[in-house]
Amino acid sequence: MTERVGVYVCHCGSNIAGTVDVVDVANWAAEKLGRQGVIIAREYKFMCSSLGQELIEKDIKELGLTRVVVAACSPHLHEKTFRTAAKNAGLNPYLVELASIREQVSWVHSDKAVATAKAKAVVSGAVSRVIENAALEEIKVPINPNTLVVGGGIAGIQSALEIANAGFHVYLVEREPSIGGHMAQFDKTFPTLDCSACILTPRMVEAGTHPNITLLTWSEVTNVAGYVGNFHVTIKKKARFINEELCTGCGICQEKCPKKVIDDVYEAGLGYRKAVYTPFAQAVPNFPVMDKENCTYFIKGTCKACEKFCPTGAIDFNQQDEMLHIDVGNIVLATGYDLFDARRVSNYGYGRLPNVFTSLEFERLSNAAGPTSGNIVLRDGKTTPKSVGIIHCVGSRDKNFNNYCSVICCMQGLKFAHLVHERTGATVYNFYIDMRTAYKAYDEFYQRVLEEGTLFVRGKVAEVTNAARNEREKGKLIIQVEDTLAGKQRRIPVDMVILSSGLQPRADAKEVGKMFGISCSMDGWFTEKHPKLDPVATMTEGIYIVGCAQGPKDIPSSVAQGAAASARVLDKILQKEVALEPIKASVNQALCSGCKICNGLCPFNAITFIEDDKVTSINPALCQGCGTCVAACPAGAISGTGFSNEQIIAQIDGLMMRNLEPIVA
Amino acid sequence: MTDQFEPTIIGFTCNWCSYRASDLAGTARMKYAPNVRLIRLMCSGRLDPTFVLRALSDGADGVMITGCHPGECHYIEQNYKALRRYLLLKRVLVGLGIEPERVKLVWASAAEGAKFAAETTAFVEEVRKLGPLNWGRTDGGNAE
């Protein structure tokens, strides 16, 4: 059947018409592309306007067009507009092709003759291609109303609560024994100096007791299969050696356990916990966890003090890891960050000079529930520092470590300055490259800290050393810095140094990303669908990223993202089904030779080999439409809708004016 | 117009990065050489090397393949597959008597409109130096 093609050339005001002779392009298309099937070519001031669209709709109906080419802007802008217009006129929307003569021609070239010639080639390419387009239907898949939230920090908690409050079920998975995340370790939160636990723990309890939330702590996701609306997730629930049905959380086991262990996680190595423990008093859930590596019974085979004293008989030394299989429709990843390892900046002496502290260590020192009951003291556990230096940008904005700004460290450094000042009266120095206090009430906090008398030195610290050069420096930590405002080198002796370390992607972010089918940026943070307009969605439908997993951010932004992702999830759930772009690969099994060349190419596990028939098959629901397998098939057995070989080759021929007179500019 | 040779180049772009980079070059009104005509694919991994040969046999003097930077592929890792095919294709081109420099792979993220424009202009100059290919003509281009 001969196709009847309509070509519509847009002026876009003067955006296109100023550089491209649009009338010439339309006349040329009508005259020279007739053999290709063009029966009408028009130009109009604004094709995207309702009048422009009506023009196309009218032609489809009256002239019986079977294909439409709109030579206008980028398909990313108005493809949908013209597809909808075609649909309104009864033409399958996928039989419309956009020729981008604005972004690719008029806006990037100056010579009118050259630009007009190129516009003709682009139109010719689109006409050749559209003939090969096939009528397609959107693919609809049902949505499972359950949601998985991975990570129980504040972002994940917020996300889980929003969805649960809307009446839908959430599985909240956390790999530590308690939810709460990094926020549970903090003392105060900037800029309001709210007590972190006071604002966080009610949310934790709400999440822990919510009828719509299944809380799975001490658990990790080990496998993800399926696609939007229909994910199948495997979760490993690690053995706690505590029967959760029987445990009341009374804490007697922790009291009686004779084994003390340095707490590297929650107390940042500054305090102790027992071998059976809850990480902190307000932990949710309140069931303890037995640390098998350190438990005397597991090491020596005797002890069982906890079992002896447990009033409900909840200790179970024979408990095994459990594999849970759940089905969910959407997944929110709130996996958080790792703190930059300050040991890597060896010239700052962390790990070598005892009185150099990391930010997390300081959080625990200043926390009233921490190992020193909130007393800010040196590593000896008793001396109050008289002078403290706080170094900003540790591991951030540094080509040797991380190029990016970790966002929170300036405000964190200011918060530390305030707390040291308030609790010890010590002289406080803040060493900064630039002071970044954007967002609501942040700069006001900076002004407040300035007024409190904190001394600010602008310059990147070169070194922290204990090698004194004079009496004044003896027994002190000396901060060597170029004061870039005074324009000179300074040596400032202090008792204590706090490193305002930056944030890093989780050490396993790459593997986690791969498991969920999403990618990481060069820096290692999860990549959002659009950095501005779609910051919580990812390129994989049904997977969302919130909080620091997406990039460094503060608590308000993490909470906002958690809620934002939930709105997107609820939107999906309420639609009950989701429409997928019909760009998919499929195998013509009559042509498939079973060579398996394509089998290893799909990162979405859409390709499977059917052993019985010795042919390959592609699951359209898993296929993301990249077309890599289509390009790889030596038998030409795989075809990809939307971007078929025929369409692409036709476009090449069209662009190259194959079988047409060459255009002379 | 001067008499200098104006090559024709086909550019393959990835829907998620380099095509958006070309959009960005447009919105930012960055000027670049008009010799390139773009084709949008969903991914550089979709690029069947025979497309390149088709373009050259249709009369193109050069082909530019563009995709997401390594590690930033929208489809996780398919640009690596494009890279492999590109390297193999270059060897095939040598066997066919075509200067392998006529085909170039460029990584450009959606944010790199300026890079896209600069790379395009640079490639046009490289191909201009190589001269016309005339591969698709049975008379070897002698008819001119």
Kindly state the tokens that stand for A601.
């190419």
The predicted-structure confidence for A250-260, as pLDDT tens digits, reads as follows 999 999 999 99
Kindly determine whether residue B29 and residue A108, on different chains, have CB atoms separated by under 8 Å.
Answer: yes
B37 at interface of A, judged by CB pairs closer than 8 A: yes
Mutate to test the interface with A, among B24, B42, B72 (most CBs of A within 10 A): B42
Number of H helices, E strands in chain A: 16, 34
Could you tell me if residue B63 is inside a domain? yes
A169-190: pLDDT as tens digits: 999 999 999 999 999 999 999 9
B10 contacts chain A (CB < 8 A): yes
The mean of the pLDDT values for chain A is 95
* pLDDT surpassing 70 at residue B143: no
Residue B5, in any domain of the structure: no
Q: How far does A217 lie from chain B, in Å, by closest CA? A: 29
d(CA A497, CA B25): 47
Mutate to test the interface with A, among B22, B44, B53, B75 (most CBs of A within 10 A): B75
Q: Please identify which residue in the block is written with the tokens 């069931």.
A: A287
Beta bridge partners of A82: none
Distance, CA of A587 to CA of A641 (rounded, Å): 11
**Is residue B16 packed enough to be buried (19+ CB in 10 Å), middle (13-18) or exposed (0-12)?**
buried
- Render pLDDT for A11-48 as a digit per residue (tens, 0 to 9): 999 999 999 999 999 999 999 999 999 999 999 999 99
Tokens of A104: 């690719």
Average pLDDT over residues A490-512: 95
Q: What is the ipTM of this complex?
A: 0.96
Does a structural domain hold residue B4? no
Chain A interface includes B100 (CB < 8 A): no
Average of per-residue pLDDT across A627-635: 96
Is A110 in contact with B31 (Cβ distance < 8 A)? yes
B77 and chain A in contact, CB less than 8 A: yes
* Residue B92 backbone dihedrals phi, psi, to 5 degrees: -65, -40
Q: Is A514 on the interface with B (CB under 8 A)?
A: yes
**Cα separation, A114 vs B35, whole angstroms:** 9
Residue A435 pLDDT > 70: yes
Please give the structure tokens belonging to residue A270.
């500054």
Report whether A617 contacts A589 (CB < 8 A).
Answer: yes
Residue B74, domain member (yes or no): yes
Q: Which of A102, A108, A648 sits opposite B32 (nearest CB)?
A: A108
Tally of domains within chain B: 1
Task: Classify residue B140: in a domain, yes or no.
Answer: no
Domains, chain A, in order of start with CATH, read 5-138+650-655 (3.40.50), 147-180+191-336+546-575 (3.50.50), 337-504 (3.50.50.60), 584-640 (3.30.70.20)
Peptide bond into A191 cis (omega under 30): yes
Q: Please tell me the distance from the alpha carbon of residue A58 to that of residue A63, in angstroms, as a whole number.
A: 8
Q: Is residue B143 part of a domain?
A: no
Q: Is-contact A602 A629, C-beta < 8 A?
A: yes
Show residues of chain A in contact with B1, CB under 8 Å: 665
Chain B partners within 8 Å of A108 (Cβ): 25-26, 29-32, 34, 117
Check residue B141 and give its pLDDT.
42
* Domain that residue B26 falls in: 12-130
* 3-state SS assignment for residue B120: helix
Does residue A66 surpass a pLDDT of 60? yes
In this complex, which of A105, A109, A522 lies closest to B72 when CB atoms are compared? A522
In a domain, B138, yes or no: no
Lowest mean pLDDT among A154-158, A334-338, B71-75, B123-127: B71-75
CB contact under 8 A, A652 and B58: yes
Task: Please say if the pLDDT value at position A366 is more than 70.
Answer: yes
User: Model confidence at A1, in pLDDT bands (50, 70, 90)?
Assistant: low
User: What three-state secondary structure class fits A186?
Assistant: coil
pLDDT confidence bin for A517, thresholds 50/70/90? confident
Measure the CA angle with vertex A651, ends A599 and A604; round to 5°. Answer: 20
pLDDT classification of A527: cutoffs 50, 70, 90 = confident
Q: Write out the two tokens for B114.
A: 């300026």
b/e per residue A249-263 (b: at least 16 CB within 10 A): eeeebeeebebebeb
User: Model confidence at B142, in pLDDT bands (50, 70, 90)?
Assistant: very low
Class of residue A443 by CB neighbours under 10 A (exposed 0-12, middle 13-18, buried 19+): middle
Angle CA A224–A228–A230, to nearest 5:
65
Among residues A206, A200, A222, which one has the least CA distance to residue A148? A222
Minimum distance, in Å, between the CA of residue A100 and any CA atom of chain B: 9
Cβ partners under 8 Å of residue A457, min gap 6? A429, A430, A431, A432, A481, A483, A485, A490, A492
Q: How many angstroms separate the CA atoms of A408 and A406, rounded?
A: 6
The answer, for A529 touching chain B at a CB cutoff of 8 Å, is no
Which residue of chain A is at minimal alpha-carbon distance from B7?
Answer: A656
Task: Identify the CA nearest to B65 among candidates B23, B25, B27, B100.
Answer: B100
Residue range B52-90, pLDDT digits in tens: 999 999 999 999 999 999 987 888 899 999 999 999 999
B91 close to A (CB below 8 A): no
pLDDT tens-place string over residues A306-326: 999 999 999 999 999 999 999
What is the model's pLDDT at position A621? 79
The pLDDT score that the predictor gives to residue B110 is 81
Chain A (123-162) residues lying within 8 Å, Cβ to Cβ, of chain B: 125
Residue A656 with chain B: CB contacts under 8 Å? 8, 10, 37, 55, 58-60
Task: Read off the DSSP letter of residue B96.
Answer: T
Is residue B110, in this structure, part of any structural domain at all?
yes
Please report the residues numbered 103 through 142 in chain B whose beta carbons come closer than 8 angstroms to any beta carbon of chain A: 117
| pLDDT greater at residue A527 or residue B62 | B62
